[in-house]
């Protein structure tokens, strides 16, 4: 099982240092990835993998406000999140996501690529067509790819998709790729055991329930 924590815009550097120490003390063999805000990247090595929530597809250059590969290299970061719905909502469209994917692939980075439908698409029953389009731009055979299915209507709402929906969608995605599949959307300490039991579910991407180290540790240990 992969346990990935998306800290989003939470934790300062000192806050993350504390978080990282607490988490590191409590995990041993689990496959844990944490995506802190980029200002809080740490140079120390931990038992979890440190990943980048965002990057610009460049090594370095005139891209005001962005972070390129050179900045990730400094912290030994080779795991990136691409396609999160909150980045898509800020304007990251399919051509840009493709550019990010291709850049990360060319670097050989581990990619967690997020896909997921909004409420209207879910309600009108066209989720699978929607996801198929979202997967069109990426190489589904890339060896370092993980796909995270994150229905937008379940993110940050406290209302996870139910097991039947997750099973159906992960089964569907698994007909297209052998990449490990994660589920994300209001995963917490209470529902993690049901989600872990789902066939084709290789892990979870956790937002809110990962921001406090103790909550995230409890979820991992559940």
The interface region with ligand PEP, picked from 30-38, 71-79, 104-112, 148-156 by CB under 6 A, is 148-156
> Which of 150, 181, 203, 217 contacts ligand PEP by CB under 6 A?
150
Helix (H) or strand (E) holding 86: helix 85-89
> Which of 23, 155, 169, 217 contacts ligand PEP by CB under 6 A?
155
Based on the residue annotation, tell me whether 84 is a catalytic residue of this protein. Answer: yes
Q: Is 193 exposed, middle or buried (0-12, 13-18, 19+ CB in 10 A)?
A: exposed
> Which of 5, 69, 187, 220 contacts ligand PEP by CB under 6 A?
187
The interface region with ligand PEP, picked from 17-25, 149-157, 169-177, 191-199 by CB under 6 A, is 149-157
3-state secondary structure of 3: strand
Cβ pair 69, 55 in contact under 8 A: yes
Based on the residue annotation, tell me whether 122 is a catalytic residue of this protein. Answer: no
Interface characters, 198-217, with ligand PEP (x: CB under 6 A): -------xxxxx--------
Choose between 70 and 193: whose C-beta lies nearer to ligand PEP.
193
Q: How far apart are CB 16 and ligand PEP at their closest, in Å?
A: 17
Which 8-state DSSP code applies to residue 126? -
Token digits of residue 124: 């009108």
Cα-flanking dihedrals φ and ψ of residue 74, to 5°?
-60, -30
Which 8-state DSSP code applies to residue 187? -
* 6 is an interface residue for ligand PEP by CB under 6 A: yes
The owner of tokens 């599949």 is 181
- Are β-strands 2-6 and 31-35 bridged in parallel, bridged antiparallel, or unpaired? parallel
Q: How far apart are CB 80 and ligand PEP at their closest, in Å?
A: 14
Which spans of this chain sit near ligand PEP (rule: CB under 6 A)? 6, 150, 155-156, 184-187, 205-209
């Amino acid at each position: 099982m992969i346990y990935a924590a998306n800290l989003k815009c939470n934790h300062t550097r000192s806050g993350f240092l504390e978080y990282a120490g607490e988490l590191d003390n409590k995990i041993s063999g689990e496959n844990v990835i944490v995506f802190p805000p980029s200002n809080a990247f740490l140079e120390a090595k931990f038992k979890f993998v440190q990943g980048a929530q965002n990057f610009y597809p460049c090594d370095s250059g005139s891209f005001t406000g962005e972070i390129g590969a050179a900045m990730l290299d400094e912290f030994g970061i080779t795991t990136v999140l691409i396609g999160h719905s909150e980045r898509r909502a800020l304007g990251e469209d399919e051509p840009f996501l493709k550019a990010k994917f291709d850049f990360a692939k060319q670097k050989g980075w581990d990619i967690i690529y997020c896909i997921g439908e909004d409420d209207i698409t879910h309600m009108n029953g066209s989720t699978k067509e929607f996801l198929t389009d979202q997967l069109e731009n990426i190489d589904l055979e890339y060896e370092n790819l993980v796909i995270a299915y994150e229905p937008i209507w379940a993110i940050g709402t406290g209302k996870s998709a139910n097991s039947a929906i997750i099973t159906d969608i992960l089964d569907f995605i698994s007909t297209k790729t052998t990449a490990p599949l994660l589920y994300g959307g209001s995963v917490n300490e209470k529902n993690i055991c049901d989600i872990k039991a789902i066939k084709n579910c290789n892990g979870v991407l956790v937002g809110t329930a990962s921001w406090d180290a103790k909550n995230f540790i409890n979820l991992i240990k559940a």
